[in-house]
Amino acid sequence: MYEVQWNQFIETRASLTYGQTRITPDEISFEYNGLPKDCATYNSLEELDITVTLPKGVKVSYNNALIINVSGNYKGESYNKQAIFSIKADTDGVIYNVAPSRDKIRLSSTGVYTPTSISCGVRKRTINGITYPKELPSTLKLTMVIDDGVEQEITPQTNISLFGTDMTVVNSGIVFTLYEKGQFLD
């Protein structure tokens, strides 16, 4: 367990989709593993902007996870999605998490991607504020998987072109993952 050193407000977003069609969820629920109960709130089922609030002095498990369960219906079928959001802090109260430049990539019926490129950085939160380091500590590794392809390590802020001669074809999505010492972090 570690003690939160200052009031922290951490934001993430959830969504439910069928292919490229966004489904408005019927329900969202949270499971708190190593985090204070009811530390997560969301603005509406339409937007699903989630805020995790950790007040100064609260104790949080090093192996914590906020499990986000989203469910909805599309064309008479029920769909459920589960996402795991973890907050990792070192002994100095530093929190690292992935920070993609966009949360959605759209492909038009004419084959045009919006945006035309995407990148992912790592957000570092300390008592002094938020930074986006271009180099990571040796214990951290940022990876990317396109669709169900091979996971590959990337440097923070690497620009991934979705248009042009070096175009990356994305059919179902890009997943960015942050590891610490080989263990899933965010």
- CB neighbours (10 Å) of residue 83? 14
Between 31 and 2, name the one with better pLDDT. Answer: 31
Name the nearest CA neighbour of 115 among 104, 127, 130, 99.
Answer: 104
At residue 171, the pLDDT reads 65
Task: Please give the structure tokens belonging to residue 156.
Answer: 């923070």
pTM, two decimal places: 0.57
Instruction: Evaluate whether 4 touches 58 at the Cβ level (below 8 Å).
Output: yes
Task: Please give the structure tokens belonging to residue 8.
Answer: 């922290």
Q: Using CA atoms, how far apart are residues 84 and 77, in angstroms rounded to an integer?
A: 24
Inform me whether the pLDDT recorded for 55 exceeds 70: yes
What are 97-112's pLDDT values in tens digits? 888 887 777 777 777 7
Q: Using CA atoms, how far apart are residues 162 and 37, in angstroms rounded to an integer?
A: 40
Q: Which of 15-19, 90-94, 159-163 has the lowest mean pLDDT?
A: 90-94
Inform me whether the pLDDT recorded for 165 exceeds 50: no
Domain coordinates of the chain in residue numbers? 1-90, 94-186
Task: Please give the structure tokens belonging to residue 155.
Answer: 């440097």
* Integer angstrom CA distances of residue 35 from 22, 42, 55, 172: 29, 16, 11, 31
Task: Please give the structure tokens belonging to residue 99.
Answer: 């920070």
Contacts (Cβ under 8 Å, ≥6 apart) of 9? 51, 52, 53, 54
Q: 1-90: which CATH architecture?
A: Sandwich (2.60)
Task: Please give the structure tokens belonging to residue 95.
Answer: 């929190």
* Integer angstrom CA distances of residue 182 from 51, 63, 153: 27, 14, 12
Task: Please give the structure tokens belonging to residue 51.
Answer: 């805020």
What are 173-185's pLDDT values in tens digits? 788 888 888 877 7
